[in-house]
Amino acid sequence: MKTLTRNDHSHNITPRKGDGREIMENEQRVSRKIVIHYTAENVDQPIICQLVKIHDLVFNILKARIFPKREGIIVLELSGSPENFNNGIRYLKEQGLKVEPLSKSVNQNADKCVHCGACTAFCPTDALFFEMDTQRVLFDAEKCNGCELCVSACPVRAMEVNIF
Ligand code: SF4
Ligand code: SF4
Which domains are assigned to the chain? 26-103 (3.30.70.260), 105-161 (3.30.70.20)
pLDDT at position 20 over 70: no
> For 25-39, how does the pLDDT look when each residue is reduced to its tens digit (9 = 90+)?
346 999 999 999 999
For residue 148, pLDDT beyond 90: yes
Pocket test for ligand 2, best of 3, 102, 123, 154 (most atoms within 8 A of CB): 123
Averaged pLDDT, 136-159 = 97
Nearest-ligand number for the alpha carbon of 145: 2
CB of 159 shorter than 6 A to ligand 1 = yes
| pLDDT > 70: percent of the chain | 84
State which ligand 1 atom lies nearest to the alpha carbon of 108. Answer: 7
User: At CB < 8 A and 24+ separation, what contacts does 44-53 make?
Assistant: 44/68, 44/69, 45/95, 47/92, 47/95, 47/97, 48/74, 48/76, 50/91, 51/88, 51/91, 51/92
